[in-house]
Amino acid sequence: MIRRLIAGACMLALAPLSQAEGLAVTLHASALGGGIELTRPIAPAFNARLAYHQYRSLGADPFALMDQFDSFWTDLFGITRSDNVYNYQGRQHLLSLIADWYPDPDSQSHFSAGLGYNRNSEDITGLEQITGGYILGGTHYSANQVGVLQGHVSHNGLAPYLGWGWGNPVKNGKSWGFKLDAGVIYQGRPTVTLGATGTVAAADIEAERARLENEASLWSPLLSMGVSYQW
């Protein structure tokens, strides 16, 4: 249902663009993936673009890892951390309709806002703490007691986008160009499922699952660079 709504909204929004002059395609890349965009002007200071992004995520949360190293000596003195580190593997598909506003129509700098259909999910696997074991629901469990700690994280389907960028692919007289975009999408509170293969109290698993949901970031940063070509 959501896919049909997004597709219908894109068709309605892009329909008047068929009367505009200029069409540019941009291929872009980032540290996590890449994608393609189609851009058309809709007014002297405004462009509209239909963008598809695909990202992959793999590895451990670097901020959580730094937190554990910072607290290593504190742990040795008997103060137990409650945050666990997770290895994650995920993929994100983002189809967005975005409007770019150029405060100075002759400049390259622009502000962006849009709405996207977001398919973003991650499989997570718990990693032992530096001092050994896991802290679940305030209780310390050994690695043998926990076994494999794993789960799944999914995000909202609709994702508003706000950002800033440099480059105007459909500027008059332009063929090839460079484009940079930096912004954030609002993913909202995720849905987390979590389980363990060992003998962990169900209440402690639920407490850890709720912690992951409540502490997850509501925003996801996006940064990409690309090359554009205008017909």
CA distance 90 to 153: 9
Residue 229 pairs in a beta bridge with: 25, 176
CA distance 213 to 220: 15
For 114-139, what is each residue's pLDDT tens digit?
999 999 889 999 998 887 899 999 89
Helix or strand or coil: residue 231? coil
For 150-208, what is each residue's pLDDT tens digit?
999 999 899 999 999 999 999 988 899 999 999 999 999 999 999 999 999 999 999 99
Q: Is 58 exposed, middle or buried (0-12, 13-18, 19+ CB in 10 A)?
A: exposed
Cα end-to-end span (Å), the chain: 35
For 21-75, what is each residue's pLDDT tens digit?
589 999 999 877 899 999 999 998 999 999 999 988 777 664 454 444 444 444 4
This prediction has a pTM of 0.76
DSSP secondary structure string for all residues of 88-149: EEEEEEEEEEEEEE-SSTTSSEEEEEEEEEEEEEEEEEEE--TTSSEEETTEEE-HHHH--E
User: Which H helix or E strand runs over 18?
Assistant: none
* CATH class of this structure's domain 2-230: mainly beta
